[in-house]
Structure 1
Amino acid sequence: MTHHWTRRSFLLSAAALTLVPADPAVAAQELPGFPDDVALYRSAYRNWVGEITAVGLWACAPTDGEQAVAAVNWAWRNGWRVRARGFSHGWSPLTITEGTSSDAPVLLVDTTAHLTDTSLDAVNAVRAGAGVSMESLLTFLEGHGLGLTAAPAPGDLTLGGALAIDAHGSAVPARGEERLPGQTYGSLSNRVLSVTAVVWDEGSGAYVLRTFERDEADAAALLTHLGRALVTEVVLRVGANSNLRCVSRTDIPAAELFAAPGGDGRTLASHLDEAGRVEAIWFAFTEFPWFKVWSVEPTKPLTSRRVTAPYNYPFSDNVPTLVADLAGRMVADAAWYLAPVLGNAQADAAALGLVTTLSADIWGPSKNTLLYIKPTTLRINANGYAVLTSRAQVQRVVSEFTDFYRERVAAYAALGRFPVNGSMEIRVTGLDHPAEAELDGAQAPLLSALRPDAEHPEWDTAVWLDVLTLPGTPYAEKFLRELERFLLDRYDGTDALTRVEWSKGWAYTEDAVWDDDEVLGTVVPASLGDGAWEQASGILDRLDPHRVFGNAFLDRLFG
């Protein structure tokens, strides 16, 4: 993979991309017959870390589902492809592929401008446009006494984008905890009650807007569709909001937190039993992770600070000067040997920041402790996997993976190589059990990494593993390939099972990502089991036989 990085481009924040209104005469010439009532403009595309960019693509912002249909039918009739675009907070090439030129027949459909309405649909249900941000959705729910068990940390995700890749938080039941009505410990996709999408209608010979109920077979492919569909609106199951306490610790060494099972130390699994909601952020070349533990607390504990808004870790959301300078120097000057310095600077910033901002023990409505990543945080690459296992085996999986990770980091460093300079992160969730949608006949998401394995009902938990490193880091792909092969070989479906995290990095070769033929063509489809991949692919092809919703990467992935 070729990287074109400068210090300035690396430190660029996620400011809104420039939109250039289309000259009507130019638009009429380049896009003849495009619906008059759908506003066109030129737009740039930039994914989260800036490694996939495109300049000057045609884009539109339909005001409702019918305008989206009109734009899609124009694209189909003119040989164009349609890509839904939200906040572009992702890594993998599910929206735009690297190298897409400004004159490519690709139409971006911006869902964030108008497809954002939210309303209560019924008891414990909300109707929401696909372009609404997660922060806006959670704020709306909070205002009605509702919330989610867990949610992704960034607020700048669209609901449609989050559902497309089975976005998740970190939650399993604590010891003795009962699932509350309307809640799930799986992904956001498991909350869907109905989904409205633009699909092909054979009878009319055109694309139309259609609503699929969760108990319909076709809905199973749309719940997590990887960008193979255009969703305009969904109805989600939700439940009563909870107040959450989030305690951050930096005093438990990794050797204790990630220890082999059987001991009586302060392990990740012991905290999981106590609270059910944990996250470990282990900065490279350090020994004390930033460890978060959320617990349901109806009333404010005496030592907690009440928080009335999200994003309560400013030292993380706004990159400290030392960290920014180190990252910029490493990228601009190829000073990759500074990885241990950067890791320790990040760990020190977290430990000190938790104290100086009084954020080591915070409490409030769920949104305010669940959302903590802003667009101003350090832009960094991430790989991602989910290991399906039993709750009793979580500590074993964590211990085995962290031991291998630590050994490989040390082996590379001994050679003067530093492929990791960010953090290793661990979260734990339940699976997407359709019964938790509380709808008779609800379908399981076919393509969700949290889809239950019919042959292993004892696997009730997923351990999410991510490794973060700066764009362009030498040997990163080779190192991450070794981690991937370890996970695929060690958790091959015998006593645990590895699946990829769609939005992040996977299918590594020695020098590239999303490029390993075996992983793309064999491992990923087989990991979902029970013919799920083939079933989903067949449904998506039938709903979009002209492959309007796709790109070169998705064509390769789905064959």
Structure 2
Amino acid sequence: MAADAQSQDPTPSSPAPAVEAGAPPDFPPGVELYRTPYRNWTAELTAPALWACAPNSPGQVVEVVNWAWQHGWTVRARGASHGWAPLTITQGTPPDAPLLLVDTTAHLTDATVESIQPGTVRAATGISIEALLTLLEGSGLGLTASPATGDITLGGALAIDAHGTAIPALGEQRPAGHTYGSLSNLIVELTAVVWDADSGQYVLRTFQRDESACAALLTHLGRSLLTEVVLRVGADQRLRCVSRTDIPATELFAAPGSPGRTLESFLDASGRAEAVWFAFTDRPWLKTWTVSPSRPLLSRQVTQPYNYPFSDNIPQPVADLVGTIVANAAWYLAPALGAAEFSATNLGLAATLSADIWGRSKNTLLYLKSTTLRYATCGFTVLTTRSQVQQVVHEFATYYSQSLDAYASRGRFPVNGQFDVRVTGLDVPADCGVPGAQAPLLSTLRPDAAHPAWDTAVWLDVTTLPGTPHAEEFMRELEQFLFQRYDGTTAQTRVEWSKGWAYTAAAAWSDQTVIGTQLPAAYGPAQWAQASAALDQFDPHRVYSNAFLDVLLP
């Protein structure tokens, strides 16, 4: 699911005249300028009042970027705030920082379906994923998979290679215009504001997917600013989404080759699956999506997204328990919270008749609103072969469960959320239909040329309430287990850019060995250096950067 470097506050303050002292000097006339607070998804990264603007066209974006360069300011794109990592601002950013948020959601939201066969859509980067999918649906088009939250911006999703959950079921052929990888892999063309050495200024430049210069911009982590993209899309699909809560974790995450209802068996049958395992419970919430052109007899047809209101709107018993835990530092109630969330899921599925639903892809793929519980989340990915997926999931789930029990035996409860697993394909460039297409250099799903057999990615997330004691220590141990177990020999650990990673025992995004050594190695030292150099060439004045990005991509 997807957080993002270009997606920030969904409800920015109403624009107000820039009259106070310290206002950006000589700001381009005609560009809406105002003060606004910044808050990321969990309110762990906040700033009380930063300068922001709302350009009404790509041309105004260029004006703003050139103004920032000439005046020594930085520019950070803002959309829907659904992110954890400090890719937009860093903690402690003061109100008087020479930093300008560029709101892409106010005006940069146009989109047009340009063709049906092959399917292409031209979209400004401030459009939301839900609005984009709605537009596609109206033309009989859609995506194989998408982030579960529809209010994130397209630009933000592309910045961090947002994804859903999908691999081909056994016997399934990839439909034209679709990919099992990230949204970044669907880009056919993109337009970005980049430095032009000949004119000595930032300009709009359009890149085609087969240009080597495009590769670093397909997933840029906030080190660039895209204004528009053309995406390859395919015919819409009807999906049946079935929820189950009756399978023990020991069966679903069993060792490979085990009989019964394993995650592998559901992937073989449907190709699309997500398992959510609430802390200290014994049965996960499993969702599977199956391509079903006709409505199955027992399925309820849905015509709108977000069909799990018990997940989007916190049930009162869960809300009360969360309030008690946070207000009284009653972290030992984590098992009770896990049980309450599992119970709410069971009751909610029955009460809303949503355990078996069917409809157009948008209406089953979008299922999470911003009103849900906002957990702090770590995110890691293991590139492997499809035949090893069950092994990876089994090993991680076993380590996670044993570690959680070991902490609990010492009176420590670092996790009060859940463990979530999704499985996707990789970013195969040919999926976009452009001969010679480049792979996104910094995408977590970029294939490893040295290991062509690795065709699948396992996404592993663990969530907990912000401020939970010992959480960072616990996440660090999970991360180190993954980097040591899947070190590039038989499989490769990478990270989910928008979430928590590079843990020390005290904080995320802080382990300099992970940041400076393990990540470049995991993504390929040559490719990492190529991406960093290209992004620096397009932005030599580091207008699109912050203190954290200066370390991550020096």
When normalised by structure 1's length, the TM-score is 0.96
| Residues 415-449 of structure 1, C-alpha deviations (whole Å, 9 max, x = no match) | 00000000000000000010111101100000000
Q: CA deviation at 1:361?
A: 0.1
- How far 1:69 sits from its partner (Å)? 0.3
Q: Which residue of 1 aligns with 2:101?
A: 108
Aligned match of 1:50 in 43, 54, 68?
43
Deviations 1:39-74 (A, max 9, x none): 101111110011001111110011111000000000
> For residues 25 and 460 of structure 1, what CA distance do their matches in structure 2 show?
55
Aligned residues of 2:50 and 2:96 also touching (Cα < 8 A):
yes
C-alpha distance in 2 between matches for 1:400 and 1:207: 49
In structure 1, distance between residues paired with 2:327 and 2:512:
32
User: How far apart, in 2, do the equivalents of 1:284 and 1:490 lie?
Assistant: 23
Q: Indicate if the aligned counterparts of 1:431 and 1:462 stay in contact, CA closer than 8 A.
A: yes
**Cα displacement (A) at 1:325:** 1.2
Q: What's the counterpart of residue 117 of structure 1?
A: 110
Contact 1:316 1:377 in 2 (8 A): yes
After TM superposition, give the deviation of residue 327 of structure 1 in Å: 1.0
Q: Give how far 1:156 is off.
A: 1.0
* Structure 2: distance between partners of 1:390 and 1:112: 39
Distance (whole Å) between structure 2 residues aligned to residue 105 and residue 424 of structure 1: 39
Task: Quickly say closer, same or farther: Cα 1:139–1:331, change in 2 above 3 A.
Answer: same
> For 2:130, what is the secondary structure of its paired residue?
helix
Cα distance in 1, alignment partners of residues 474 and 25 from structure 2: 48
Does structure 1 residue 302 correspond to structure 2 residue 297?
yes
Taking the TM superposition and a 5 Å limit, the aligned residue runs for 1:93-492 are 93-122=86-115, 123-492=118-487
2:508 matches 1:513:
yes
Deviation for aligned residue 1:193: 0.4
Aligned in 2, Cα 1:16/1:274: closer, same or farther, shift over 3 Å?
A: closer
**2: CA distance, partners of 1:30 / 1:43:** 13
Q: CA deviation at 1:16?
A: 5.0
For the Cα contact (< 8 Å) 2:216–2:441, is it kept in 1?
yes
Aligned-partner residue type, residue 144 of structure 2 = T
Report if the CA contact (8 A) 1:49-1:91 is conserved: yes
Distance in 1 separating the partners of 2:483 and 2:540: 33
User: Within 2, Cα distance between the matches of 1:21 and 1:319?
Assistant: 31
Q: CA distance change for structure 1 residues 376 and 25 in 2, over 3 Å: closer, same or farther?
A: closer
Contact kept, 8 Å, 2:10 with 2:80, in 1: the verdict is no
* Residue in 2 that maps onto 1:11: none
Q: In 1, distance between residues paired with 2:217 and 2:414? A: 37
Paired letter, 1:87: A
In structure 2, C-alpha distance between the alignment counterparts of 1:115 and 1:316, rounded to whole Å? 31
Secondary structure, aligned partner of 1:537 = helix
Single out whichever of 257-266 and 120-129 deviates more from structure 2: 120-129
Distance 2:84 2:538 in 1: 26
Which amino acid counterpart does residue 190 of structure 2 have in structure 1?
V
Shift of 1:222: 0.4
Report the residue type matching 2:245 in the other structure.
T
- Asked if the contact 1:174/1:275 (under 8 Å) is kept, the reply is yes
For the aligned residue pairs, the C-alpha RMSD in angstroms reads 1.1
TM-aligned CA distance change 1:287 to 1:24, over 3 Å: closer
Q: 1:60 aligns with which of 41, 45, 53?
A: 53
Gaps in structure 2 of 5+ consecutive residues = 1-7
Contact residue 86 and residue 158 of structure 1 kept, 8 A: yes
Corresponding position of 2:5: none
CA distance in 2, matches of 1:232, 1:17: 21
Contact conserved, 1:147 with 1:238, CA < 8 A, in 2? yes
| CA 1:18–1:144: 2 relative to 1, 3 Å | closer
Structure 2 distance, partners of 1:160, 1:486, is 33
Is the 8 Å Cα contact of residues 193 and 204 (structure 2) preserved in structure 1? yes
Q: Structure 1 pair 409/39, CA: closer, same or farther in 2 (3 Å)?
A: same
Structure-2 residue corresponding to 1:21: 15
TM-score by length of 2: 0.97
Residues of 1 paired with 2:449 and 2:410: CA distance?
44
Pair 1:495-2:490 in alignment = yes
8 Å Cα contact 2:215-2:531 kept in structure 1: yes
Which residue type is aligned with residue 106 of structure 1?
L
Residue identity (%)? 66
Alpha-carbon distance, 1:121 to partner: 2.4
For the 8 Å contact 1:419–1:479, the answer to whether it is kept is yes
Offset, 1:33: 1.2
Partner Cα distance (2:327, 2:547) in 1:
31
| 2: CA distance, partners of 1:393 / 1:140 | 37
The 3-state SS of whatever aligns with 2:37 is strand
Q: State how far apart, in whole Å, the 2-side matches of 1:56 and 1:344 are.
A: 39
Q: How many aligned positions are there?
A: 545
> In the TM superposition, what whole-angstrom CA distance separates every residue of 1:219-265 from its partner, at most 9, and x where no partner exists?
10000000000110000000000000000000000000000011121
CA–CA distance in 1 between the matches of 2:133 and 2:9? 23
Match of 1:78 in 2: 71
1:531 matches 2:526: yes
**How far apart are 1:18 and its partner, in Å?**
4.8
Structure 1: 5+ residue stretches without partners? 1-13
Q: Does structure 2 conserve the Cα–Cα contact (< 8 Å) formed by 1:17 and 1:45?
A: no
The answer as to whether partners of 1:484 and 1:506 remain within 8 angstroms in 2 is yes
Do the aligned residues in 2 keep the contact of 1:227 with 1:549 (CA within 8 Å)?
A: yes
Whether contact under 8 Å (2:9, 2:78) holds in the other structure is no
